[in-house]
Amino acid sequence: MNEQSEKHPIQQKRTVLALAPHPDDLEIGCGGTLAEHAERGDEVHVFIATFGDVGGVAEVRQAEQEAASKILGVKKIHWGGFPDTQLPQRTQDLMDVLERIIAEVKPDMVYVNYDEDTHQDHRTLAQVARSITRYIPNVLYYETPSSMNFEPSIFMDIHDVLSFKIKALEAHASQVEATHVTLNIFEIALATARFRGVQGKLSCAEAFVPVRLRL
């Protein structure tokens, strides 16, 4: 091995699993990061616990998630099929499903929404994920608009893949204005990307809180 290759070894391809309670959570929180993984040649899987039918029509939201995942370069969507807003009552079932998916996918990198959150589904998924990823070397929390006390220390530069993130959000057409605030999901995503970019000394970024990170 020459000196140049010793300094800059070929990056090993990762198998990524990103977990979300509802359709569009991933695109908001780490859509750019997933697109960047796909661009690098990593194998990207996503798990969506519910169809988000409390916030829309299940079939519509499922189709939107499938379209968004295709834009981001996701290899496979794993659907949980759990009732929206009722994950706390299905904790053991959720754990069983996720353990089977992890055994199938064998990820070395997992993303999941931050555990401090105003939504009960978000809190439950994060708590279950903390247990079932205990042997996975890299686990990162991403933020959503309902995250609380999120203080990131890891940043992904998404400048080159920001267009993929926006197109993936556009795929969630039924949710664009369903934010309960005066901003739509594009405005929220862009404002967050710029803010986290400033924190990470980048033009735009997605930010993460580490559960575990192997260097």
Q: How would you write the pLDDT of the chain (215 residues) with one tens digit per residue? A: 344 444 445 578 999 999 999 999 999 999 999 999 999 999 999 999 999 999 889 999 999 999 999 999 999 999 999 999 999 999 999 999 999 999 999 999 999 999 999 999 999 999 999 999 999 999 999 999 999 999 999 999 999 999 999 999 999 999 877 767 777 888 899 999 999 999 999 999 999 999 999 98
| Distance in angstroms (rounded) separating the CA atoms of residues 159 and 199 | 14
Amino acid at 168: A
Q: What DSSP character marks residue 159?
A: G
Encoded tokens for 174:
């039924």
The end-to-end CA distance of the chain, in Å, is 21
| Distance in angstroms (rounded) separating the CA atoms of residues 192 and 168 | 16
Nearest alpha carbon to residue 60 among 176, 185, 163: 176
| Distance in angstroms (rounded) separating the CA atoms of residues 164 and 211 | 26
Domains contained in the chain, CATH given: 14-212 (3.40.50.10320)
Encoded tokens for 12:
């090993």
**pLDDT confidence of residue 8:** 42
Considering the entire predicted model, what is its pTM?
Answer: 0.92
